[in-house]
Chain A
Amino acid sequence: DTAVSQTPKYLVTQMGNDKSIKCEQNLGHDTMYWYKQDSKKFLKIMFSYNNKELIINETVPNRFSPKSPDKAHLNLHINSLELGDSAVYFCASSPRTVNTEAFFGQGTRLTVV
């Protein structure tokens, strides 16, 4: 039973394309996140949702749009992909927004060519 699952695991696409990454958690958590890990392994928060509502939106280009259809899902849609978007994207969830650990998915390695 995978707690936080992301699809796809690998995504190779051309510049200018639009793509989506899906995330689902079966932990019953209220809060979900998207993180980006660059080539130097630095993990940076992109978005945070609590009960389907956006609570954190770091400095991320508006080509990135998260969508939470319900508490268990947080998808990431990316428009007009650029070379610099190549990275590993991690979805995570936690029981609440503070004083709690986050549980991460396996990551989606996005390569823009």
Chain B
Amino acid sequence: EDQVTQSPEALRLQEGESSSLNCSYTVSGLRGLFWYRQDPGKGPEFLFTLYSAGEEKEKERLKATLTKKESFLHITAPKPEDSATYLCAVQALTGANNLFFGTGTRLTVIP
């Protein structure tokens, strides 16, 4: 069965303190891995898609990487506006083509 586990569940950082969020996955053939950001009371907002091991994507202070078993979302010198819940989702090669989500990492960046 497809499984996505995100860690840590919650993370508090000082402004400027870089860190990484982890997304471990088990899927019967990975079609794509997706990162989303969700602010309180809002819907998930798309950040990145990664398709194959070794792929990297960057956007401002965020960088996503992918291996055969996990993905990392690196946050460099975070700012308070980066505070949000970050969700990881996988889409499998076989079966239904929906996104299977993890439970997210709640990031708080303190000024």
Contacts and interface: CB of A to CB of B under 8 A. Distances in A.
20 contacts: A41-B38, A41-B103, A41-B104, A42-B101, A43-B87, A43-B101, A45-B96, A45-B98, A45-B99, A45-B100, A48-B97, A58-B98, A98-B32, A100-B49, A101-B46, A103-B46, A104-B36, A104-B43, A104-B44, A106-B41
Interface of A: 4, 33, 40-45, 48, 55-56, 58, 90, 92, 97-107
B72 interface: no
A105 B46 CA distance: 12
B103 A42 contact: yes
A104 B44 CA distance: 6
Q: Give the residue among B31, B34, B44, B104 with the most A Cβ atoms within 10 A.
A: B44
Q: What are the 5 A-B residue pairs with the smallest beta carbon separation, nearest first?
A: A104-B43, A45-B98, A43-B101, A101-B46, A97-B97
Interface in B47-95: 49, 51, 85, 87, 89, 91
Contact of A33 (B49, B85, B98): B98
A92 B43 CA distance: 9
Nearest to B49: A101
B96 A48 contact: yes
Contacts, number: 60
Q: Is the interface of B mostly helix, strand, loop or mixed?
A: strand
Nearest to B89: A43
Contacts of A101: 34, 46, 49
Q: Give the residue among A43, A44, A105, A107 with the most B Cβ atoms within 10 A.
A: A43
B17 interface: no
A106 B103 contact: no
A107 B42 CA distance: 7
A90 B43 contact: yes
Contact of B101 (A44, A103, A106): A44
